[in-house]
Amino acid sequence: MISTVATKPFDDQKPGTSGLRKKVPHFAQENYAENFLQAIFDATERPAGSAVVIGGDGRYLNATVIRKAIRMAAANGVAKVIVGQNGLLSTPAASNLIRQRKAAGGIVLSASHNPGGPDGDFGIKYNIANGGPAPEGVTDAIYRRTKEIQDYRIWDGEAPDLSLIGTSRLGQMEVEIVDPVADYAALMETLFDFGKIRAAIQGGLTLRFDAMHAVTGPYATEILERRLGAPEGTVLNGVPSEDFGGGHPDPNVVWAAPLVDLLMGPTAPDFGAASDGDGDRNMILGRGIVVTPSDSLAVLAANAHLAPGYAKGIAGIARSMPTSQAADRVAQKRGIGIYETPTGWKFFGNLLDAGKVTICGEESAGTGSDHVREKDGLWAVLLWLNILAERGQSVAEIVKGHWAEFGRNYYQRHDYEEVDKAAAEELMNSLRGRLASMAGQRFGTLVVSEADDFSYKDPIDGSVSTGQGVRIVFSGGSRIVFRLSGTGTVGATLRVYLERFEPDPARHDLPVEVALKELVETADAIGEIKARTGRAEPDVRT
């Protein structure tokens, strides 16, 4: 039986960089999740008979909202839902399932790397039939619907037990509960030389993977320990918990500090990695070295042909605008395409679908390829392992060799979190107002060569996205980028991205702080960060 429940629109359901993300108590308000889900069912296309994939990162509210989503799907004429067992699906695994099963789309419940639990964050994002995040046309349509919604439809009966793999019915709708790992692990076996990686591990290659109490635990345990034969205990914090063990499931030097300490210490394994709440981000470490995501993207692009899935070479590379230009140097040398897109994985979808690029990445610890339409943490780990197994060198040797060949792009991102929203917006507006007069200005040894507010015209569908971040480029290629986060849930987060290119191998061993000192000072001078936000230091440097 279907109930139609009267509701009223909420005025704050505009999806951000990656879906609708709010604090748990906000999401738990009566009808809040239901309204957004109904807007998704109303505003998206579903060919007759097609399925919708549903799963999430296991955070607090995950199972509750999944059961609601299943009941609402049944009441909205969905033919079939495919749901991860216990409501779990990593974001890349959901993307893969949508593609494998030719589903109409997917509802992915996650707030990515944000903390979970009753006071943490929750989120809902919609992915389209190519497996990727809904493009702006779709998220705008969903948002418009949230502003006019008057009721939602829900099946009266209970959703099936999420722990039981198998197929059942809810009214007319089929509900298939699947092993969340199996199809994803099978896909990885087609891309990478598992035999070679297994042999390297048997031959003494040591590794640790920190799942950060989040969704990748079961995936990493199956793939790294069972299929690749890494010893038990290789996967750390491998059991997903609703509040991620009380931490932030954010794979960076701050939140994955124990792993970083291990890799910098006397008992370091050869390779270390971590992933985030929903499994799409990655952090890569070697003994004594943290590989920045921008460098990792460049190294993976330069070496991908060593893995069977990419043996024919890659078609091109795409990176988000604030990501360092290290990948550009690989593309230039190899004579392949390089695309600079706005922040957010959704901007890669069209380029991947059109076959223009094979590998994509963002400075925020996201790398991936055309195997799915999301970034993919474990994919990056496996590609690194495949490269290590093929080259027989250490992570540090590979990275330093890369710099020697292509030059080094020193890089850091500074985040100022929970800044007063109005102050942050004024800072950005003030910068925008000064862009036209900036070229030619000198700051210490730096002279501005170009300054703009990044806008992007999608080369495939012609859509234009404006206001994507202020870029200030200096002669010699150094850059400062200012933008406001689109994923935060409190106040505003100002992100300042600093980059300096150094061609001279004799200068590739400087501490990053030293290499970027002048740019950091210049960023404060141009952005008036201290004066406008009251912050003398960033909260996080990644």
The contact set with ligand G1P (CB under 6 A) reads: 17-18, 112, 320, 343-345, 362, 364, 366, 485-487, 495
Give 58's Cβ-side CA count (13 Å radius). Answer: 29
Instruction: Report in angstroms the alpha-carbon separations of 461 from 214, 253, 358.
Output: 36, 38, 18
Instruction: State the nearest-atom distance from the C-beta of 276 to Zn ion, in Å.
Output: 4
Catalytic residue among 90, 95, 112, 364: 112
Out of Zn ion, ligand G1P, none, what residue 345 binds, judged by CB under 5 to 8 A for its kind, is ligand G1P
Q: 276 touches which of ligand G1P, Zn ion, none (CB within 5 to 8 A by kind)?
A: Zn ion
Both structure tokens of 141: 């349509």
Which residue, 280 or 502, has its beta carbon nearer to Zn ion?
280
Q: Which does 57 bind (CB under 5 to 8 A by kind): ligand G1P, Zn ion, none?
A: none
CB of 366 to ligand G1P, least distance (A): 6
> Please, which residues bridge with residue 116 across strands?
none
| Min CB(379)–ligand G1P separation in Å | 15
- For 301, the 3-state DSSP assignment is helix
Ranked by CB distance to Zn ion, the top (closest) residue is 112
Q: Smaller CB distance to ligand G1P: residue 228 or 498?
A: 498
374 touches Zn ion (CB under 5 A) = no
Residue closer to Zn ion (CB basis): 278 or 502: 278
Of residues 328 and 363, the one with the C-beta less far from ligand G1P: 363
287's contact among Zn ion, ligand G1P, none, with CB below 5 to 8 A by partner kind, is none
- Asked if 324 contacts 412 with a C-beta cutoff of 8 angstroms, the reply is no
Residue identified by tokens 């920045």 is 292
| Contacting range for Zn ion; rule: CB under 5 A; set: 270-278, 330-338, 430-438, 464-472 | 270-278
State the minimum distance, in angstroms, from the CB of residue 63 to Zn ion. 19
Nearest Cα to Cα of residue 134 among 466, 373, 486: 373
Task: Kindly state the smallest distance separating residue 308's Cβ from Zn ion, in Å.
Answer: 27
CA distances from 63 to 109, 307, 411 (A): 9, 37, 39
Number of Cβ atoms within 10 Å of the Cβ of 48: 7
296: its two tokens: 């990792």
Q: Is 280 in the site for Zn ion (CB under 5 A)?
A: yes
Residue 278, binding choice from Zn ion, ligand G1P, none, Cβ under 5 to 8 Å by partner class: Zn ion
80 vs 319, which CB is nearer to ligand G1P? Answer: 319
CA distance 343 to 320: 5
Torsion of CA 482, 123, 186, 166, to 10 degrees: -170
Select from Zn ion, ligand G1P, none the partner in contact with residue 86, using the beta carbon and a kind-dependent cut-off of 5 to 8 Å.
none
Q: How far apart are CA 296 and CA 363, in angstroms?
A: 9
Encoded tokens for 192: 């990478």
Helix (H) / strand (E) containing 495: strand 492-502
Nearest approach, Cβ of residue 273 and Zn ion (Å): 15
Q: Is 485 in the site for Zn ion (CB under 5 A)?
A: no
CB of 87 to Zn ion, least distance (A): 17
Note if 112 is an active site residue: yes
Q: How far is CA 350 from CA 162, 301, 353, in A?
A: 34, 19, 5
Residue placing its CB nearer to ligand G1P in the complex, 73 or 300:
300
Is 474 within 8 Å of 483 (Cβ atoms)?
no
Q: Which helix (H) or strand (E) holds 290?
A: strand 289-291
- Residue 122: which of 18, 16, 19, 24 has the closest Cα? 24
Shortest distance, position 400 Cβ to ligand G1P, whole Å? 26
CB atoms within 10 A of CB 46: 18
Kindly state the number of chain residues that form the binding site for Zn ion, as judged by CB under 5 A: 5
Judged on CB neighbours under 10 Å (0-12, 13-18, 19+), 313 is: exposed
Using the minimum distance from each CB to ligand G1P, give the nearer residue, 369 or 487.
Answer: 487
**Which of 121/276 has CB closer to Zn ion?**
276
> Which does residue 320 bind out of ligand G1P, Zn ion, none, counting CB within 5 to 8 angstroms by kind?
ligand G1P
The answer to whether residue 278 forms part of the interface with Zn ion (CB under 5 A) is yes
User: Could you give the CA distance from residue 7 to residue 151 in angstroms, rounded to a whole number?
Assistant: 5
Contact map string, positions 72 to 111, toward Zn ion, x by CB under 5 A: ----------------------------------------
Nearer to Zn ion, 280 or 458 (CB): 280
Q: What residues between 106 and 125 interact with Zn ion by CB under 5 A?
A: 112
Ordered DSSP codes for 15-57: -BTTBEEEEHHHHTSTTHHHHHHHHHHHHS---TT-EEEEEE-
- Are 318 and 357 in contact, with CB atoms under 8 Å apart? yes
Q: Which entry of Zn ion, ligand G1P, none binds 343, CB below 5 to 8 A by partner kind?
A: ligand G1P
Three-state SS sequence of 179-209: CCCHHHHHHHHHHCCHHHHHHHHHCCCCEEE
For the bound state, the minimum distance from the C-beta of residue 301 to Zn ion, rounded and expressed in Å, comes to 21
Identity of the residue, 251 or 309, whose beta carbon is nearer to ligand G1P in the bound complex: 251
296 binds, among Zn ion, ligand G1P, none (CB under 5 to 8 A by kind): none
Angle between the 32-43 and 62-75 helix axes, to the nearest 10 degrees?
40
Q: Report the nearest approach of Zn ion to the CB of residue 91 (Å).
A: 6
Is residue 88 within 8 Å of residue 58, measured between CB atoms? yes
Q: Strand pairing of 446-453 and 366-369? A: unpaired
> What residue 458 binds from Zn ion, ligand G1P, none (CB within 5 to 8 A, per partner kind)?
none
Tell me the catalytic residues. 112
Using CB under 5 A, list all residues that contact Zn ion: 112, 276, 278, 280-281
